[in-house]
Amino acid sequence: MSADSRAPAGLRERKKERTRRTIRTEAMRLFQRQGYGETTVEQIAEAADISPSTFFRYFPSKEQVVLADDMDPVMIRAIEAQPPELLPLAAFRNAMRETFALMDSEDSAFEQDRMKLIWNEPELRGVIAQETERNVVMVSEIVARRVGRDPDDVEVRAFSGALIGASWTAFDGNGFDFEKIDRIIGFLEAGMPLFATAPAE
C-alpha cells in the first residue's frame, strides 16, 4: 500500500491541489518565457518535477492547462449562497465581487496571464467559441435552479448568453478588468440604457 493511499482524504486532496497548481504555474512560466507553441508537455512535467503520465492525470492536454477555469467552482458556490429573493443578475454581481475579493495577488496575476494568453495565442483563440458555449450552459444551469425553470428554456438561454457575451467585452489583449465586469453587470441590470453621451456620475 502506498503512502498516498494511507493518507487521510483531506491530505491527499491538498497534495493533489498543490500538484495541480504547480503544473499550471510552471506551465505559465514556460509559456511566457519560450512561447506556448514551443512548450511541450514533457517540458512542463520536468519543470513541475512530475512524469508526463502524471501530467495527463491532471490535464488531458496542454491546451487544458490554460483553459481550465479554477474560478468556476468558487463562483458557483458564491452564486448559490446568495439569498433566494435576489434577482439573478444581482446574485451574479454579488458573487463576482465576493469571488474577486477572495483572490490573492498570486491568483489574480495568474488569471490575468491566463486570459492574456487565451486572447493573444492563435492556437487558443480558436477555442473561445467553445468556452463561450460551455459558460452559457453552466450559467443556464445555475439560473434555471435559481428561478425554477428548465436550463433549455429560451429565456434562460438568452439571459445566460447575454451575460456571458457581455462579460467577454471586459477582456482584451491586456487581460481583464474586474471593475469593467462589475460595470457591465450593472448595465445589464439597468436594462442596458444607452445615451448619446455618457451619463453623469
**Which residue range(s) make up the domain with 148?**
69-189
pLDDT tens, position by position, for the chain (201 residues)? 444 545 555 888 889 999 999 999 999 999 999 999 999 999 999 999 999 999 999 999 999 999 888 888 999 999 999 999 999 999 999 999 999 888 888 888 888 898 889 888 888 877 778 888 989 999 999 999 999 999 999 999 999 999 999 988 887 766 677 888 889 999 998 888 887 555 555
Contact of 119 with 126, CB cutoff 8 Å: no
- Write the DSSP string, 70-90: THHHHHHHHHHTS-TTS-HHH
Apex 166 CA angle, 163 and 167, nearest 5? 80
Residues 36 and 82 in one domain: no
3-class secondary structure, 184 = helix
The DSSP 8-state label assigned to residue 95 in this structure reads: H
pTM summary value: 0.76
The per-residue pLDDT for 124 is 86
The per-residue pLDDT for 126 is 77
Residues 164 and 97 in one domain: yes
Domain stop point among 32, 60, 88: 60
Q: What is the CATH number of the domain that holds 150?
A: 1.10.357.10
Q: What is the CATH number of the domain that holds 11?
A: 1.10.10.60
- 196, part of any domain: no
3-class secondary structure, 175 = strand
How many domains, the chain?
Answer: 2
Q: Which amino acid is at 119?
A: W
